[in-house]
């Protein structure tokens, strides 16, 4: 990073106090790389959040009732009785027994479809798919179980969301990871700006001393550095945003091709795109603040 | 008339030491009044530049008291320094022009730093450049100017904002005698407008050309007073109707070992 990259002046404010900016310095490119990585990390974090939220909304009110008994007649009897109880139970929006052919389809990958095979004799549980009007909390699941236990003692009740708890935990961890990456990238931005500002200060120490001797204030000098930092960070930010968006689009196409329901829920909303578009502005703000604090801190050591 | 209590600068037993070495300045006491012309002289290494640095607030003393514009300059908070420096004009021996700026922009710099509107800058700066004979060099960068031209730009920059005190280190060292005299007249006219002028020089001929100037002579970091006028407190109060510290400096020069080599 050369010593003049962070220096500049304009005809307004602090005209010509220090030489004109040179955007050919490496700082815009460092900022561009940081912003591109931040955009990708932010998009990943937001996408994972969306996927988790959508899956959670889909599964929150879902409950599965299994009638686990080996005797087919008893199983059917208990299932019918449980279904009748469930349809009358407060808060149950829908209760539907999973048809035998649907069960056969579900089991087909494991049990095969050879002619003459039958699964009727296997002790497969009867399934009732229940949809509640509110999330299936442990208390509600307990109440449901209590209501059907009298007519279907072989019943088991599970909240569908509970099955995906480990997945949600993994998603939350990935979101924290994305946040940590963004924090590290912010620190990298700060480090790059501090180094550039210090180099520029050292390269223009004599001019700064002259400006001081003529009555220039620390704030006037700092504003020159801030303005240049803003210009260089903005240039890098635009390049980084463009590169990041290209990467996001390419990645989203790859994941869409997987056809997974959860991945489909990871699509970014327009509000997410607004957040992503604001990342370069955040980078500019961080660069300006860092340049200001660095310069003011250094100038305070000069008389 | 200027009253003794209207002093612009007051040094009282000031000492300056760089690092752990011996004192560069020792027991410096004097008072400067508005509108007066002072020459600071002495051999090389006598401490002239150190004293000037104290005067233009580029250095804090190791001991003693300095009052400037009625305020204790030693304990002056850093944020108030720019306001004080804007009341000073400084001509550095090495000019210290800003290399990336034109002659015009260098001269305009004190006004811009002080926040003067751009429309109020062009005319006085052009007039000043014309006065120092650089009207046709207004857009030239310092690197393309001769030593004398750079010195004139430095002087124009120092006086453009009509400072309360002008501090100049060998301000005519690189100009021809005619221009040197012209610049001295400029300094004198500033004095008539109330500016205190302090010029460090080796040139005895220059000193002789300024009537009513007072002489501060440094010898090995100590200030002697050939005019008998710089003591603090002043040896006598000025009589009514007479400027203070008006001892005849011309007489004081005669026969005094001033410690400089005549040019």
Which alpha helices (H) appear in A158-278, and where do they start and end?
A: 160-163, 165-203, 205-213, 218-256, 261-264, 270-277
Same domain, A130 and A226: no
A46 and A84: one domain? no
Residue B28 is assigned to a structural domain of this protein: yes
For chain A, counts of helices (H) and of strands (E) = 11, 4
**% of chain B exceeding 70 in pLDDT:** 83
What is the predicted pLDDT for the residue at A5? 40
Q: Nearest CA of chain B to the CA of A226: how many Å? A: 17
Domain range spanning residue A172? 27-56+166-299
Same domain, A179 and A236: yes
Residue B46 has pLDDT above 80, yes or no: yes
Nearest CA in chain A to B83: A215
One domain for residues A81 and A130: yes
Q: Are residues A172 and A272 in the same domain?
A: yes
- Is the pLDDT at B4 greater than 60, yes or no? no
Asked if the model's pLDDT at residue B241 lies above 50, the reply is no
Contacts of B110 in chain A (CB under 8 A): 214-215
What's the number of domains chain B is made of? Answer: 1
A237 and A294 in a single domain? The answer is yes
Is A46 within a domain?
A: yes
Paired sense of beta strands B88-91 and B165-169, if any: parallel
pLDDT at B254: 43
Q: Residue B167: helix, strand or coil by DSSP?
A: strand
Give the strand order in the sheet containing B214-219. Answer: B88-91, B165-169, B196-200, B37-42, B214-219, B222-224
Per the domain annotation, does A121 fall within a domain? yes
The verdict on B117 touching A (C-beta cutoff 8 Å) is no
In a domain, B141, yes or no: no
pLDDT of residue A72: 81
- Mutation site, B87, B112, B163, interface A, largest A CB count within 10 A: B112
Which of A124, A153, A182 is where one domain is finished?
A153
Bridge partners (DSSP) of residue B88 are B165
Q: What is the pLDDT of residue B256?
A: 39
The packing angle between helices A72-88 and A138-149, to 10°, is 120
ipTM above 0.95, yes or no: no
Nearest to A154 by CA among A128, A120, A121: A128
Q: What pLDDT shows up at residue B247?
A: 33
Q: Considering only the beta carbons, identify the residue of A19, A207, A215 that sits closest to B82.
A: A215
Domain containing residue B17: 1-81+213-263
Q: If pLDDT is split at 50, 70 and 90, which confidence band does B176 have? A: confident
Statement to judge: residues A203 and A131 lie in one domain: no
Question: Is A3 within a domain?
Answer: no
Please indicate, yes or no, if residue A2 is contained in any of the structural domains: no
* pLDDT value at B173 more than 90: no
Beta-carbon contacts of residue A87 (< 8 Å; ≥ 6 apart): A95
Q: Give the CATH number for residue B68.
A: 3.40.50.300
* pLDDT averaged per 10 residues in sequence order, chain A, 303 residues: 41 57 71 95 89 74 85 87 89 86 77 62 82 82 87 86 77 90 93 89 87 90 88 93 94 74 71 94 94 91 77
Q: What is the pLDDT of residue A143?
A: 87
Q: How far apart are CA A138 and CA B71, in angstroms?
A: 76
CA distance A13 to chain B (A): 8
Q: Which residue in A50, A43, A28 sits closest to A245, CA to CA?
A: A43
Angle, helix A218-256 to helix A27-60, in steps of 10 degrees? 50
Domain boundary among A153, A187, A222: A153
CB–CB contact B109 A220 (8 Å) = no
DSSP state of B245: S
- A38-47, B85-94, B199-208 — which is least confidently predicted? B199-208
Asked if B112 reaches chain A (Cβ–Cβ under 8 Å), the answer is yes
Given a cut of 60, is residue B259 above it in pLDDT? no
CA distance A287 to A263: 35
Q: In angstroms, rounded to a whole number, what is the distance separating the alpha carbons of residues A298 and A209?
A: 12
Q: Is A7 on the interface with B (CB under 8 A)?
A: no
Among A51-65, B10-24, B79-93, the least confident range: A51-65
Q: Is residue A10 part of a domain?
A: no
**Residue B62 within a domain:** yes
Is B159 a domain residue?
A: no
- Please state, in angstroms and rounded to a whole number, the distance separating the CA atoms of residues A56 and B91: 75
Taking only the tens place, the pLDDT of each residue in B148-162 is: 899 899 999 999 999
Same domain, A175 and A95: no
Q: pLDDT-based confidence at B236, cuts 50/70/90?
A: very low
């Amino acid at each position: 990073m050369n010593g003049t990259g962070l220096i500049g002046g304009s005809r307004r404010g602090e005209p010509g106090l220090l030489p004109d900016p040179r955007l050919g310095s490496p700082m815009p490119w460092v900022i561009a790389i940081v912003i591109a990585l931040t955009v990708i990390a932010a998009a990943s974090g937001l996408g994972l959040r969306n996927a988790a939220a959508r899956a959670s909304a889909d599964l929150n009110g879902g409950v599965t009732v299994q009638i686990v008994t080996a005797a087919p007649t008893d199983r059917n009897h208990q299932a019918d009785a449980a279904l009748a109880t469930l349809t009358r139970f407060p808060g149950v929006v829908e209760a539907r027994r999973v048809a035998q052919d649907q069960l056969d389809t579900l089991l087909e990958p494991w049990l095969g479809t050879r002619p003459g095979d039958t699964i009727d004799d296997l002790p497969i549980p009867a399934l009732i798919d229940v949809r509640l009007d509110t999330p299936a909390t442990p208390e509600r699941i307990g109440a449901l179980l209590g209501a059907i236990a009298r007519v279907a003692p072989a019943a088991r009740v599970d909240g569908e969301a509970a099955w995906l708890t480990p997945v949600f935990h993994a998603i939350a961890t990935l979101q924290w990871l994305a946040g940590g990456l963004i924090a590290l990238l912010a620190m990298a931005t700060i480090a790059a700006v501090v180094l550039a500002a210090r180099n520029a200060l050292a390269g223009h120490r004599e001019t700064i001393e002259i400006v001081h001797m003529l009555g220039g204030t620390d704030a006037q000098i700092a504003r020159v550095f801030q303005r240049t930092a803003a210009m260089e960070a903005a240039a890098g930010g635009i390049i980084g945003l463009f590169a990041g968006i290209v990467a996001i689009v390419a990645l989203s196409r790859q994941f869409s091709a997987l056809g997974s329901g959860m991945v489909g829920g990871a699509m970014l909303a327009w509000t997410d795109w607004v957040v992503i578009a604001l990342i370069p502005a955040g980078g500019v703000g961080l660069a300006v603040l860092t340049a200001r604090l660095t310069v003011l801190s250094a100038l305070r050591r000069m008389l | 008339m200027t009253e003794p209590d209207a002093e612009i600068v007051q040094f009282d037993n000031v000492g300056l030491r760089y690092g752990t070495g011996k004192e560069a300045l020792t027991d410096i006491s004097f008072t400067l009044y508005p509108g007066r012309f002072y020459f600071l002289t002495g051999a090389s290494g006598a401490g002239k530049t150190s004293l000037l640095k104290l005067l233009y607030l580029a250095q804090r003393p190791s001991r003693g008291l300095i009052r400037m514009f009625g305020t204790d300059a030693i304990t002056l908070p850093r944020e108030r320094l720019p306001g004080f420096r804007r009341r000073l004009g400084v001509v550095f021996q090495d000019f210290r022009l800003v290399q990336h700026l034109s002659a015009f922009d260098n001269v305009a710099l004190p006004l811009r730093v002080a926040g003067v509107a751009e429309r109020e800058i062009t005319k006085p700066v052009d007039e000043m450049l014309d006065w120092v004979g650089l009207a046709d060099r207004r857009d030239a960068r310092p690197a393309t100017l001769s030593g004398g031209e750079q010195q004139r730009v430095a002087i124009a920059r120092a006086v453009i904002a009509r400072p309360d005190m002008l501090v100049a280190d060998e301000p005519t060292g690189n100009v021809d005698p005619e221009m040197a005299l012209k610049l001295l007249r400029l300094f004198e006219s500033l004095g008539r407008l109330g500016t205190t002028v302090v010029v460090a020089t080796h040139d005895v001929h220059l000193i002789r050309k300024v009537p009513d100037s007072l002489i501060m002579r440094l010898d090995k970091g100590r200030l002697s007073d050939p005019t008998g006028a710089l003591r603090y407190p002043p040896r006598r109060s000025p009589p009514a109707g007479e400027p203070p510290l008006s001892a005849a400096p011309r007489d004081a020069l005669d026969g005094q070992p001033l410690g400089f080599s005549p040019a």
